C-alpha cells in the first residue's frame, strides 16, 4: 500500500513535469503564428511560356486581395515573375511581395494558350497537384490573351469575378462542369483526355468563357471546341442539362431557327462489343423562340424530328472531329477498357479508335412553349 502511494506521487510529479514542458513548447509554438494581416492570400494563379533561357522557362503571376488597405471595396494587385518551374516561379513571385503568399485559398489556375499549345502543361500540373495546399474544387482555365493582359483586366474587376464567372457558366450555362478533381481524373486517367474551359476577351473588353480546349496525350492543347460543341459535351457529361440551344430548322424551302431550352435529361454512353459507340440522350425541353411559319401545337412532331436530326448530325460531326484530331475527351477508351480484358491503350488509339462509329438514339420531349399559344385548342 505504502509502496504504491510513493509510486503514485512519483508518477504525478513526472506528469506535472511533462505537462509544464508541453505548455512551454506550446508557448514556443506561438512564435510561429501567421496573422492574416501579414500574409497575402492568392486568389488566382497563372502560368505561361517564359523566355528561351533555362532560368526563366516559365512566366507566372498571382492575383491577391489587398485587405489591409483599410478601404471598403476590394483592391486587387498582381505580381508576375519568371522561373524555372511552377514552384520556383511562385517562390520568385513571393520574393517580390512584402508579405508571405499563401496559396491555400487559390480559386482559379490560369494557363496561357500558347504555352499549352507549344510547351505542354504536364510539368505545371504535376508540380501543382502534388501540393497538399491546392484544393480539389478549384477551377482551371486557359487564357487566349497573354497572362499580363488577362491579369490586368482581372485586377480591374471584382476579386471573385473569374471564379464566379466559371462556376455560373458551369452550373447554368454551356460549360461542362470541371474542377481540379475532374481535370486530374481526365488528365492522368487511361483512355480519356482532359478538357479545360478557354477564355477570351471580346472586342468590347468583356471576359467570356465559351470555348473548350482539349488536351491531348502529350499534354498539349490540341483542339479548340466552339460554344455549340462545348454544349454537346456538357449534355453527355453533366448531371445538369439546363442550357439554351439554337436549332436551325427548314421546311418547304423556308429556313429559320428555334431556341430550345433543355430543363433536364438523361444521357448514357456505352459500347457494344463491336466498333459502335452507343449514345443515348433524352431531353425534356421547352421551345422559346420560333419562326412565324411554325404553328404550335400542331408542329410539335415536326420540331421534335428536326431537333433529333440536328443533334444526331452534330454528334456525328463532333465525334469525327475527335477522331481526326486523335483526342478522346468523352472517355471512349475508358469505356472500352472497362469492357475488354486485354485492352491496350496504344493499340486502341492507333487501330481501333479511328474506325469507331457513333450511333445516337435521341429522344426529345417538348413540354411546352412558354406562356403564349398561337391557336385555341
Partner 1 sequence: MSNEKIKIRESLTLSPFFLFFLIHSSQTGIGMLSMQRDIAKYAEQDAWIGIVIAGLYLHVLFFMLFKILASSNNGDVISLHHQYFGKIFGNILSMVFVVYFFLLLLLVFRSYIEILQIWVYSIVAPWEIGLVITVVIFYIVLGGFRVIAGISFWSTLIPIILVFILGYTLKFSHFSNLQPFFNHNIKEILLSSKEGIISFVGFETVLLFFPFIKKGRSTKRWAHLGLLFTTLTYLILTVITYAFYNQGMLKYIIWPTLSMTKIVQVPFIERFEYIFIFSWLLVVMPPMCLCIWAITRSLKEMLNIKSSFSLTGILVLVNILSILLIDRDSIHFVKKATTQLSIYILFIYIPLLFLYVIVKNKIQSNKK
List contacts with partner 1 (CB under 8 A).
Answer: 7, 10-11, 14-15, 18-19, 21-22, 25-26, 29, 32, 104-105, 126, 129-130, 132, 135-137, 181-182, 184-185, 187-190, 239, 334-335, 337-341
Task: Report the residue number, 189 or 256, with the smaller CB distance to partner 1.
Answer: 189
Whichever of 217 and 259 has its CB closer to partner 1, that residue is 217
Closest separation in Å from C-beta 185 to partner 1: 6
Closer Cβ to partner 1, 7 or 36, answer by number: 7
Distance, CA of 229 to CA of 215 (rounded, Å): 15
Reading the block at residue 325, the C-alpha cell is: 484530331
**Shortest distance, CB of residue 34 to partner 1, whole angstroms?**
10
How many other C-beta atoms lie within 10 A of the C-beta of residue 184? Answer: 17
- What is the smallest separation between the CB atom of 30 and partner 1, expressed in angstroms? 12
| β-pair type (195-201, 243-251) | unpaired
Alpha helices in 96-136 (DSSP H): 113-118, 122-129
**Shortest distance (Å) from residue 341 CB to partner 1:** 5
Minimum Å gap between C-beta 132 and partner 1 is 5
| In contact, 58 and 41? CB cutoff 8 Å | no
Q: How far is the CB of 188 from partner 1 (least distance, A)?
A: 4
Residue with cell 500540373: 125
Of 50 and 176, which CB lies nearer to partner 1 in the complex structure? 176
The count of residues in the chain is 377
CA–CA distance from 2 to each of 7, 8, 9, 16, 196 (Å)?
9, 10, 11, 21, 75
Q: Which of residues 138 and 247 has its CB atom nearest to partner 1 in the complex?
A: 138
CB closer to partner 1, 200 vs 267: 267
Burial of residue 100, with CB atoms counted within 10 A of its CB: 0-12 exposed, 13-18 middle, 19 or more buried: exposed
Amino acid at each position: 500500500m505504502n509502496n504504491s502511494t510513493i509510486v503514485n506521487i512519483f508518477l504525478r510529479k513526472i506528469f506535472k513535469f511533462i505537462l509544464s514542458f508541453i505548455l512551454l513548447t506550446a508557448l514556443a509554438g506561438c512564435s510561429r503564428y501567421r496573422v492574416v494581416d501579414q500574409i497575402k492570400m492568392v486568389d488566382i494563379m497563372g502560368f505561361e511560356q517564359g523566355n528561351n533561357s533555362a532560368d526563366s522557362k516559365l512566366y507566372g503571376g498571382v492575383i491577391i486581395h489587398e485587405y489591409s488597405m483599410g478601404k471598403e471595396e476590394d483592391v486587387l494587385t498582381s505580381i508576375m515573375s519568371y522561373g524555372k518551374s511552377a514552384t520556383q516561379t511562385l517562390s520568385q513571385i513571393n520574393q517580390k511581395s512584402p508579405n508571405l503568399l499563401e496559396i491555400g485559398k487559390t480559386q482559379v489556375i490560369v494557363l496561357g494558350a500558347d504555352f499549352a499549345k507549344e510547351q505542354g502543361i504536364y510539368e505545371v500540373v504535376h508540380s501543382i497537384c502534388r501540393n497538399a495546399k491546392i484544393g480539389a474544387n478549384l477551377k482551371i482555365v486557359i487564357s487566349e490573351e497573354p497572362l499580363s493582359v488577362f491579369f490586368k483586366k482581372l485586377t480591374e474587376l471584382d476579386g471573385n469575378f473569374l471564379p464566379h464567372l466559371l462556376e455560373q457558366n458551369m452550373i447554368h450555362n454551356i460549360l461542362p462542369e470541371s474542377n481540379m478533381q475532374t481535370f486530374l481524373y481526365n488528365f492522368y486517367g487511361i483512355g480519356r483526355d482532359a478538357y479545360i474551359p478557354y477564355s477570351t476577351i471580346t472586342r468590347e473588353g468583356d471576359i467570356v468563357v465559351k470555348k473548350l480546349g482539349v488536351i491531348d496525350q502529350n499534354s498539349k492543347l490540341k483542339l479548340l471546341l466552339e460554344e455549340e460543341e462545348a454544349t454537346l459535351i456538357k449534355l453527355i457529361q453533366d448531371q445538369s442539362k439546363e442550357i439554351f440551344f439554337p436549332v436551325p430548322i427548314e421546311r418547304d424551302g423556308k429556313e429559320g431557327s428555334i431556341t430550345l431550352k433543355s430543363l433536364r435529361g438523361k444521357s448514357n454512353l456505352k459500347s457494344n462489343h463491336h466498333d459502335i459507340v452507343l449514345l443515348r440522350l433524352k431531353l425534356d425541353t421547352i421551345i422559346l423562340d420560333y419562326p412565324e411559319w411554325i404553328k404550335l401545337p400542331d408542329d410539335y412532331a415536326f420540331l421534335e424530328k428536326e431537333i433529333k436530326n440536328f443533334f444526331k448530325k452534330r454528334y456525328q460531326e463532333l465525334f469525327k472531329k475527335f477522331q481526326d484530331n486523335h483526342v478522346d475527351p468523352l472517355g471512349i477508351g475508358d469505356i472500352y477498357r472497362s469492357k475488354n480484358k486485354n485492352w491496350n491503350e496504344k493499340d486502341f488509339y492507333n487501330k481501333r479508335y479511328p474506325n469507331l462509329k457513333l450511333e445516337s438514339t435521341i429522344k426529345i420531349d417538348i413540354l411546352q412553349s412558354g406562356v403564349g399559344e398561337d391557336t385555341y385548342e
